[in-house]
Amino acid sequence: MTKPKRSRDKIRKRSVRSVRGHECNDTMLKLPLFCDNCDEFIFGNDAYRCRACNVIIHKPCISKEKVNLGVDHGRAAEGSTVHEYRERVVKNPAQCDQCGVLYENKVFHCAHCGIRAHKDCLNFIPSTCGMAGDQLRGTLRITTYFDDNRLTVHVHEAKHITAMDVNGKSDPYVKISSYHKAGGWSDGSKTRTRKKTLNPNWNEKLVVFLDTDDSDCRVLIEVYDWDGFSDDDLIGGFSISGNELVKNSADGWYRLLGKNESVFYNIPVSYSKEKMARIWEEMDDDEEDESGVSITDFKIQGSLSSGFFGQVLLAINEEEEKVAVKVMSKYKVASSGATGDVFAERDIIKLASPHIVELFRAFQDTENLYFELELCEVGSLLDVYEFYEGEISILFYEALQKTLCAIEFLHGIDVVHRDIKPGNILITSRLHAKLADFNMSKNLSKSEDKKTATLCGSHGYIAPEIYDGARYGTKADIWSFGVMIYEMTEKKLLIEAEDSSDLKEVCSV
């Protein structure tokens, strides 16, 4: 009689008890904690822990069937990332990262963050892929408004913040500070303290003053645990550029980071689903777009190029003319905070200049924005340069002359292009050069000093003052234009560098 084969998937298995939707294992507590149901102290092996949300329940509460806890396994707040599991075969037994039970032979392993678990535990692991263990500090939802140098931060709530007290809870409050180059960090206001909770709800507004002329201005938002006997403990925080908050109001969930990350790194502004819906409504109500036009009115012939927001299609319109249709995803435009930039690009292209790619029509549907543009069949100046293997022809000098006329026209109306390069100079079938791609352009007429401070452009063509974070104006385009001429005539890069140190050295010569 042969012995049955022992399953090598698990060496041992702990019992699981279902308590009002919580799948609980018995656990050994190294520190005394409060029961989440009856608020009594628990120590040792007199407790059960939920496999999904880590709630602690007293064993007497389970035996007497007096558990009143609801089910809240929503550890994955907005912005979390789902794990990508792959089945792997291992030789040596090890512990499951979720339940602690030993596994052998087969295990599911995340390809990105490395977490390993049984198949039965996959549904209980929170969607926190890519987050280091010391970054699992929770998330905070805020909304900001800016008016007359006053930034109002509406603190809504936080989810799944770190437990800082021995009772397994925290006493959190939110504090806001601002940084200016002249005065450094200045303390602002803070919210009231919420007692014994890991999911606090504040619904309070804090105000901080911002200097819009300071390009280094930052806003630091931190969550602290109140301690009546010593200094308050930092749970986590994050900082956002003041200029970014002036341009785009924040409205969404933000991951709490550690002390160094929250102070020294600016995170991008994110939007909630509600704000995304409002932005889409603003796009739909835009009066400049032509109604009655649909992408189905065009015969799509193929794709000319693609980018982050969408792609440019080769199409034939109702008049049987070849045109270029630029398609931009509303979702990507809105989530990147680029709605104003797209509309500004449209307004600039509509300006009557023979040296700028002509915009025929702008329209939209429920998913995308569309620009019907003049088709430049020859391609870009870079394509022509590579086709002739770097030989300089009369077409090259004529293209530079037309480009300089386009730059002069833009600077005359206080518009800086900020992305002058051979790939953005297009050649029509009649060999006329036209400047294109205005998604980085900026109208400086509303600024008192006719300057801006946003870091943008194509690497290698960016002016040194932009790298340095200084305020700059239309002269930045002249630098890019000069770099383009140098590279195409000398057949080599002006500067081969990853940062601005070499740029400063060249400029000082």
Q: How far apart are the first and last CA of the chain?
A: 91
Residue 14 belongs to some domain of the structure? no
Answer with the one of 325, 355, 373 that is the final residue of a domain.
373
pLDDT at residue 478 is higher than 90: yes
Q: For residue 103, what are the contacts with CB-CB under 8 A and spacing of at least 6?
A: 9, 10, 11, 90, 93, 94, 95, 96, 116, 118
Whether residue 51 is contained in a domain is answered as no
pTM for this predicted structure: 0.50
- CB-side neighbour CA atoms (13 Å) of 210: 28
In a domain, 2, yes or no: no
- Last residue of some domain: 270, 301, 334? 270
Average pLDDT over residues 405-426: 90
Decide if 60 is inside a domain. no
Q: What is the pLDDT of residues 103-123, one digit of tens each?
A: 667 788 776 666 777 777 777
Q: Taking Cα atoms as reference points, which of 303, 328, 301, 295 lies closest to residue 315? A: 301
Which domain does 301 fall in, by range?
A: 277-373
Contact 34, 57 (CB under 8 A): no
In whole angstroms, what is the distance from residue 292 CA to residue 363 CA? 9
What is the CATH classification number for the domain harbouring 154?
2.60.40.150
Q: State the CATH number of the domain containing residue 480.
A: 1.10.510.10
- The answer to whether residues 486 and 430 belong to one domain is yes
Q: Which CATH number do you get for residue 315?
A: 3.30.200.20
State how many domains the chain has.
4
Structure tokens at 333: 């435009």
70 inside domain: no
Report pLDDT for 384. 85
pLDDT digits (tens, 9 = 90+) for 136-161: 678 898 988 888 788 899 999 998 88
Please identify, among 270, 296, 313, the residue that sits at the C-terminal boundary of a domain. Answer: 270
Residue 284 predicted with pLDDT over 70: no
Write the CATH number for 96: 3.30.60.20
